Amino acid sequence: MARGNQFDFSALVRAIQKVDTFCLQQASRAINISLTLRNWSIGYYIREFEQSGSDRAAYGENLLERLCENLQGQGLKRCDVRELRRYRQFYIVYPQIRETLTPEFRKMLPVREKRERPNRETLSPDLQIVGSTLVEKLSFSHFNELSSLDDQLKRAFYEMECIRGGWSVRELRRQIGSLYYERTGLSTNKEKLAEHLQKSADKADPRLVIRDPYVFEFLGLKAREVMGESELEDSLLDKVQEFLLELGHGFCFEARQKRILIGDTLGFIDLVFYHRVLKCHVLIELKAARFTHEHLGQLNTYVNWYRRNVMTEGDNPPVGLLLCTQKDHALVEYALAGMDNSLFVSKYQLELPKKEDIQHFIEQQVRKTAHEK
């Protein structure tokens, strides 16, 4: 331990940790501010065109579809119709963010006075958080959750609690879902409730913020580069991918960490294959943990989404394969997703690797990985 001005080894370790944390926080903040302003500005432009675009009548209700098509042709990331609608809503709900723009940024926006006025004029000034504080303390993923709240007072409540507690996006989503605002209104001891909740709240981690799907797509990173949950899972996915392709049973690799959007929830499927013999997609999820019903439910959701949105004429229903592992234990579960064709089920069980073979393979790879470490 350092004494006085002495710079010993312990002080060296602390100094490096401190500067690493500081720079990570700075980088996280800078990235999120840029992403927030970018998405707000896109919403601004869309709303401006809807109100005063010289040829807006030619696009009408198809504006976002046409805009999306053209922007994707230009290589713009994250611009499906749902996202463009989200950006527009973000601008409408948070017009005060304009005050945070630098002079250089403002030059890119029309100088005309905006028709929309801040939508918080009915709120007490004590409940209004200035735009600069919002942009600095909250990520776009926070704003994305908050923009869906129609009640201004409720939104202001979650803004303040989120900033005060340094909540992660997951925590904000959890508290909205558990009706924290409503529970606070009914509580006879609001301060005690808030104190108890803030102590157990999930705090935002700069490392996780940079892994946010909005951020890594904004930076042009691929899902695989940032979405691996652990070194073990990533290594096992490599092996599973090779294992299935080497079987020669008709597996054709399609995607890794396949991004899908279900409602407002972004999901990533670990591995996606198309099976030439079965004529169906095979979705694989790997969890470096014991099997839980939540894992199977997640995979079944992905399988059902694929059946509704990807399956085409001539395809059989997609199949899900769940691989769960912990030390020398492996459990393999097939998700049939409601297949009622017994002949196909029998063929499916014949063509796919046997559960015992996959289980043995997973156990072998886990032991090998543990031995190497």
Per-residue model confidence (pLDDT) at position 227: 47
- DSSP readout, 162-228? HHHHTB-HHHHHHHHHTTHHHHHHH-S-HHHHHHHHHHHPPBP-HHHHHT-HHHHHHTT--HHHHH-
Give the pLDDT score at 31. Answer: 85
* Best CA proximity match to 269, nearest among 261, 258, 280: 258
Lowest mean pLDDT among 106-120, 180-194, 244-258: 106-120
* DSSP secondary structure letter of residue 333: E
**pLDDT of the residue at 219:** 64
Please indicate, yes or no, whether residues 246 and 297 belong to a single structural domain of this protein: yes
Is the domain of 249 the same as that of 203?
Answer: no
pLDDT tens profile 18-45: 998 888 788 888 888 888 999 999 999 9
Q: What does the pLDDT average to over 247-252?
A: 78
Which residue is listed with tokens 């017009």?
Answer: 95
Domain limits at 23?
A: 9-213
Task: Choose from 50-54, 183-187, 243-247, 354-358 the range with maximum mean pLDDT.
Answer: 50-54
Q: Average pLDDT of 306-318?
A: 89
- pLDDT of 222 > 80? The answer is no
Comparing 296 with 348, the larger pLDDT belongs to: 296
* pLDDT at residue number 44: 93
Long-range Cβ contact pairs of 168-172 (< 8 A, separation 24 or more):
168/202, 168/203, 168/204, 168/205, 168/208, 169/139, 169/141, 169/142, 169/145, 169/204, 169/212, 170/202, 171/201, 171/202, 171/203, 172/142, 172/145, 172/146
What is the end-to-end Cα distance of the chain in Å, rounded? 31
Residue 233 and residue 173 share a domain: no
Q: What pLDDT score was predicted for residue 2? A: 47
User: Could you say which of 178, 213, 248 is where a domain stops?
Assistant: 213
Among 164, 188, 213, where does a domain finish?
Answer: 213
Residue predicted with more confidence, 207 or 68: 68
Task: Take residue 19 and report the two structure tokens written for it.
Answer: 């500067």
DSSP secondary structure, 276-306, as one string = TTTTEEEEEEEESS---HHHHHHHHHHHHHH
Q: Is the pLDDT of residue 223 over 70?
A: no
Assess whether 31 and 52 both reside in one domain. yes
Does 170 score more than 90 pLDDT? no
Same domain, 204 and 268: no
Looking at 213, 244, 275, which one is the last position of a domain?
213
Distance (Å, whole) CA 282 – CA 335:
10
The label of the residue with tokens 């951020």 reads 215
Q: Are strands 280-287 and 251-262 parallel, antiparallel or unpaired?
A: unpaired
User: What single-letter amino acid sits at 113?
Assistant: E
The count of domains in the chain is: 2
pTM score > 0.75 for this model? Answer: no
The rounded mean pLDDT for the chain is 79
> Is residue 4 domain-resident?
no
69 pLDDT above the threshold of 60: yes
Least confident interval from 119-123, 199-203, 368-372: 119-123
Mean pLDDT of 118-145: 79
| Residue 218 included in any domain | no
| 203 and 350 assigned to the same domain | no
> What is the arithmetic mean of pLDDT over 183-196?
73
Residue 109 pLDDT grade (very low, low, confident, very high; cuts 50, 70, 90): confident
314-371: pLDDT as tens digits:
888 888 888 887 655 677 777 665 555 556 666 777 777 887 888 888 878 777 765 5
